[in-house]
Chain A
Amino acid sequence: MSRLLEDDYQSPLTNETRVTKKVKRKGKRRKTFKPYLYLLPAILFLGVWMYKPLLSTFFLAFQKWSMVPGTIPEPVGLENFLRLFNTKDFPISIENTIFYTIGVLPFSIVIPLILATVTNDMNGKAKNVYRAIFFIPMILAPVTVSAIWRWLFHPTNGLVNNLLLKIGIIDDNIAFFSDPRFAKWLILFMTGWGLIGFSTIIFSAALTNINKDYYEAASLDGATNFNRFIDITLPLLSPTILFMLTMSILFSSQFTFAYIDILTQGGPFGSSTNIYYEMYKYGFSNLNVGLSSAAAMLFFFVFGIITLVLNYVSRKFAFYDN
């Protein structure tokens, strides 16, 4: 998505020269406000529901407020930012945000890359059936996914516990979602489970755009399948890989949000929380708007910088086949 930011803007199709003079003069004055008229709904809504609140959050980060109607936020300077680092679950939430962001990469890049490459060589029918099935988890709502996994991993009657007991891997039931050793891994796995299909489809689409001649030439030179993957597929897919990397970094913490909220509420002992869940907790459980806004601003800038760097790397180093 970051690629959309700057490179893709091309100047509009203007064709005024081809229009007769009369139409042109008549249209001249109207044309000056017409584009803005068409853009009005979008700009208005983006302004009211995106940019204005972002600005409010920025100011609220320097204020103290509990959202109680009738009260006014009072300025406190940098206190919220200082308090943030002394808040109990904040360091662990940063740690987990990094854990989720990195942990999701095998599911959003490595496994899909393998699946896309393997299915790419198959005939049309098998390829489409496999890809259609991989994709299903992506369209399910987070609540649905949480409900199913909670039932599968139920401490006393869940299928997973039953099977593990039967095979004899464990002697006692495990309460997966209230065990700090398992909770965040399960949330990571659920997030990854949803992403595999989506990424596979994206990589498959990129693969079909690769010119088949390269592979034929490589085959004539005696390259093995593995060589072809390393020397042709990977470099040509590098823009897509960087795109998926950016997506994963920007969105993995947001994808995990719903699972954390439904399954663990960040627990046990804060072991599965992440930064976005903490923002929600500060704001809506502790009613500490300033703290929530300070965290939001901090990470808005952190993620913004990461994205811009990746965008730069993508333009500088990714290999485009033109």
Chain B
Amino acid sequence: MKGKEKLLRVIQHLLLIMMCIIAIFPIYWMIISSFKNESEIFTSSFIPLKPTLENYVYAFTEMPIVRMMFNSFVIAILMTSFQLISSILAGYALVRWKFKGSFLIYSLISLTWLIPFQAIMIPNYVLINQMGLNEQLLGVVLPFAVSVFAILSLYQSFQAFPVALIDAARLDGESDFGILVNVILPNIKSTVASLGILLFISGWNEYLWPMLITKKMENSPIQIGLRSFVNSDVNMWGSLMAATTISCLPILIIYLVLQRQVVDSFVRFGIK
């Protein structure tokens, strides 16, 4: 019995290790390819024998990488801030007050899950063009200024907040806005922070919309610049992998540093 159980354990770990390799090998391959020199890049060696930085140098000279990374940061940070502000206010209103139409508003917010972006992209594209925001970062950000996912997540957090604390603050003469800013938010800091991380990652990774809005490399986020590099027929795989590595570096660093929070936030907000 004991031996059989041990064997089962070993098999389980082997299975899991295999899954881990499947999960991270492509990333490993990306990173080592970016350090391989021209003669080594087409071989299957698993470690670069003569690591070189020339791929990175080439990538930086071929593409405005710094500019595109900057655009990506601006887009992701603006999206995250707009989404956090609008959802904090909306979630608070929905939980705090009983008012006419609250159920209708809640339903309208929830039902937007069903609207695929492809079903609204053309009217939005036309509108952005009419506003003259084509090729502008604001044009990329505006349609993503509200995240329904964020509203519903915060709605749940606000609902779990003890009413007694709100009452106490009210008796102390706090205004409604004061209650939100001075009582509730400091207590759910970590929830808001992990939601923020999540929104930042999805803003950073956004694809279809920035592709429609920004055509010139200097105006586009790194994802879209990378897309044209992937699609160009140059056989510069070393530099392409270098550029790809740079593009996901911020996300990987966030994940390494805040791994627990990232996973927790996906669990907390994904399931409830």
Contacts and interface: CB of A to CB of B under 8 A. Distances in A.
A160 B13 CA distance: 25
23 contacts: A1-B113, A2-B113, A9-B107, A11-B98, A12-B97, A13-B163, A36-B93, A36-B99, A39-B93, A45-B145, A60-B123, A130-B20, A133-B23, A138-B266, A139-B252, A140-B205, A146-B230, A157-B237, A201-B266, A201-B267, A257-B207, A258-B208, A296-B118
A198 B266 contact: yes
Given A136-B255, A139-B255, A250-B113, A12 B241 contact: no
Interface stretch (A81-89, A228-236, A276-284, A314-322): A276-284
Interface string B38-57: 00011110000000000000
Interface in A26-54: 31-32, 34-39, 41-43, 45-46, 48-54
B241 A201 contact: no
Contacts of A115: 16, 19
Contacts of B94: 12, 35, 39
Given A4-B110, A148-B26, A151-B240, A12 B120 contact: no
B118 A280 contact: yes
Interface string A189-220: 00001001110011011100000000000000
Contacts of A6: 107, 110
B119 A148 contact: no
Given A115-B19, A300-B114, A67 B237 contact: no
B218 to A, nearest CB: 18
Contacts of A46: 108-109, 112, 146, 148
B212 interface: yes
B157 interface: no
Contacts of A151: 29-30, 33, 237, 240-241
Contacts of A162: 43-44
Given A15-B163, A32-B99, A152-B29, A147 B105 contact: no
B89 A49 contact: no
Give the 4 A-B CB pairs with smallest separation, nearest first. Answer: A53-B123, A38-B93, A42-B90, A53-B120
Contacts of A289: 122
Given A9-B103, A139-B201, A151-B237, A198 B270 contact: yes
A18 B166 CA distance: 12
Interface string B139-157: 0001101101001100010
A56 interface: yes
Contact of A137 (B23, B156, B211): B23
Interface of B: 12-13, 15-16, 19-20, 22-24, 26-27, 29-30, 33, 41-44, 85-87, 89-90, 92-99, 102-103, 105-127, 129, 142-143, 145-146, 148, 151-152, 156, 159, 163, 166-167, 170, 176, 201, 204-205, 207-208, 211-212, 223-224, 226-227, 229-231, 237, 240-241, 244, 247-248, 251-252, 255, 259, 262-263, 266-267, 270-271
Nearest to A246: B113
Interface in A5-21: 5-6, 8-15, 18-19
A284 B212 contact: yes
Contacts of A253: 116
B93 A54 contact: no
Contacts of B124: 49, 53
A87 B66 CA distance: 43
Given A13-B96, A141-B248, 9 more contacts: A118-B16, A134-B19, A137-B26, A142-B223, A143-B227, A202-B266, A205-B267, A250-B113, A280-B121
Contact of A42 (B15, B87, B95, B251): B87
B6 to A, nearest CB: 14
A57 interface: yes
Contacts of A53: 120, 122-124, 127
Interface string A146-165: 11111110100101001100
B271 A39 contact: no
B164 to A, nearest CB: 9
A238 interface: no
A180 to B, nearest CB: 20
